[in-house]
Amino acid sequence: MSTTPTLSEIRDFKGTYPKQLFYLFGTEMWERFCFYGLRGMLTVFMVTELGLADKAANLQYGAIQAFVYAFTFLGGVFADKILGFQKSLFWGALLMIVGGFVIAIAPTEFFYIGICFNIIGTGFFKPNISTMVGQLYHETDARRDAGFGLFYMGINIGAFLGGLLMVWVGKSYSWRAAFALVGVVMIISLINFAFRRKSLGPIGLSPLHPDMPAKTRKLYEWGTYIGSIAVIPLILLMVTNTAYTDMFMYIVGPLTLVYLAWEMRQFSRAENMKLGAALVFIFFSIFFWAFFEQSGGSLSLFALNNLRPELFGIPVDPNSVNNAANSLFVIAFSAVAGLLWLWLSKRKAEPNSVVKFGLSFLFLGGGFYIFKSTLGLADENGITSTEVFTFAWFVITFGELCLSPIGLSLMTKLSPLKIQGLMMGMWFLASAYGQYAAGLLGAGMSSENPAASNYEKLVLYTDGYGQLGLYALIAGAALIIIAPLVRRMMQEVH
């Protein structure tokens, strides 16, 4: 009979990876299948089935994705203060299962209600499993980055499968079946975690004081569960009316910073310097995701309307290519990127995290200039090269590999243990602002004319991508310039 390991036994593992990482890898992989599968379907479904114009669909996409990531912040706070990471993950998974099956019952009628369940469920699930990965390691363990790299590969295996399959099932077979996949796959994710959670020992258990009366403990926990369901009507109102989304985004960010400032009073100057460095990364990540997340908005509609349905002579669904290419490249090249950093490190030439962030923007800018170049390859109907489009994702992938897995790891390295859930939530809240801005940018590139031709849409989108490419290059240069200052704030963290 297996015993529950202590925290020291977990962290004193031999080799490169702790076994618990593979268990969390499996749980997160299936959740990401659902998340990225849904993300890849949103604008296509809203345009083809709900009858929204491109501009409205971009705004709606931004609102939905913004709330998904905004609730990861709240999920992190409730995990830190009440539920613990394990119960938060369970609750989030259950809500996502409900959300998927609700939409599957009647996709056009129950779409927004089911999406609200998914918003809350992802909020409780997403930040907390990443934080548990960080807690598998001692603070000074050099293997942590490798662990997050492997974990990030798991994310992208799920993203690749979900992005490839779900929109194809919806467009070619049945939208009802596509949304039902969310419920089915999340059940697999939850079962995987249930059978492996004992191996995590004390990681992710309730943070409430052991001496707290059981009745009071249950009151806090059930209050969280009931409260998270009670806010669904409010979320429904905000998601379906983007003016309310604007108001929410104007308020939640400043309040979050105020709350963080309040928490920072309890930490030393050195700890707060590290938190200041973390905020620099969080701030720049907003811009990265605002550009990158055109993938689920304007680029999804670009693929729907303007790409040739073949890749190197092989028939393909352009939306599946748009949804899955980036994840496939991450899977293929994340290990290569890790080996490159290791090779450079041995020669004392590895760039620090701030410079890597700067490089991510340079790759991002290059990718968007390639998207812009597809205009010159288009026919008179506005149909252009899927091969060049895919190459743009190839370039952007290296930008993502310079930022996202490193960002997850940095939040755990730069944050005191007591607020790691909060800081991971802030990392994802930055993504919420990025998603929100992505919707606004995508809407700004969309034609106001519902009768616009595919060629006219292509011109507008490629012009917009050229501008985003320029802004990305400027941001990358700025990060590289301020790298020495931020590096000093990070102290011993590389």
Q: Summarize pLDDT for 287-331 with one digit per residue, the tens.
A: 998 999 898 888 998 998 899 999 898 999 899 999 889 889 988
Structural domain boundaries in the chain = 18-490
Who's near 21: CB < 8 A, 6+ residues apart?
133, 136, 147, 150, 151
What band does 365 get if pLDDT is binned at 50, 70 and 90?
Answer: very high
Alpha carbon distance 175, 261 (integer Å)? 45
Q: What average pLDDT does range 138-164 have in this prediction? A: 79
CATH 2.60.120.10 given to domain 18-490: no
Alpha carbon distance 358, 482 (integer Å)? 10
177: buried, middle or exposed (CB in 10 Å: 19+, 13-18, 0-12)?
middle
pLDDT at 135 over 70: yes
Alpha carbon distance 321, 326 (integer Å)? 9
Q: Where are the alpha helices (DSSP H) in 293-419?
A: 298-306, 318-346, 353-373, 386-414
pLDDT score at 337: 76
| 198, 3 contact by CB (below 8 A) | no
pLDDT at 138 over 50: yes
pLDDT tens per residue across span 452-487: 788 888 898 999 999 999 999 999 999 888 888 888
Give Dmax (Cα) for the chain: 73
Q: Which position has the token pair 């779409």?
A: 111
What the block records as the tokens of 197 is: 């959670």
| 97, 120 contact by CB (below 8 A) | no
E strand or H helix that includes residue 379: none
CA distance to 92, 93, 429, per residue, from 237 (Å): 21, 23, 20
Q: What average pLDDT does range 369-373 have in this prediction? A: 94
Q: What average pLDDT does range 40-57 have in this prediction? A: 88
pLDDT tens per residue across span 375-431: 988 888 889 999 999 999 999 998 888 877 677 677 778 888 777 767 777 887 888
315: buried, middle or exposed (CB in 10 Å: 19+, 13-18, 0-12)?
exposed
| 137, 11 contact by CB (below 8 A) | yes
Q: What is the mean pLDDT of the chain?
A: 85
Candidates 46, 162, 48, 71; CA nearest to 439 is 46
| 124, 228 contact by CB (below 8 A) | yes
pLDDT score at 102: 93
| 396, 350 contact by CB (below 8 A) | no
The full DSSP string for 374-387 is GGGG--TTS-B-HH
Alpha carbon distance 411, 386 (integer Å)? 36
pLDDT at 105 over 90: yes
What band does 127 get if pLDDT is binned at 50, 70 and 90?
Answer: low
The secondary structure of residue 213, as a DSSP letter, is -
Alpha carbon distance 476, 94 (integer Å)? 40
What band does 340 get if pLDDT is binned at 50, 70 and 90?
Answer: confident
E strand or H helix that includes residue 446: none
| 360, 288 contact by CB (below 8 A) | yes
Q: Which position has the token pair 């076994």?
A: 19
pLDDT score at 2: 57
pLDDT at 191 over 80: yes
pLDDT score at 431: 83
What band does 494 get if pLDDT is binned at 50, 70 and 90?
Answer: low
Lowest mean pLDDT among 23-32, 71-80, 177-186: 71-80
Who's near 189: CB < 8 A, 6+ residues apart?
26, 27, 28, 29, 30, 31, 34, 93
- Give the total residue count for the chain: 494
Q: Give me the sign of the Cα torsion angle 76, 82, 85, 86.
A: negative
pLDDT score at 484: 86
pLDDT score at 1: 44
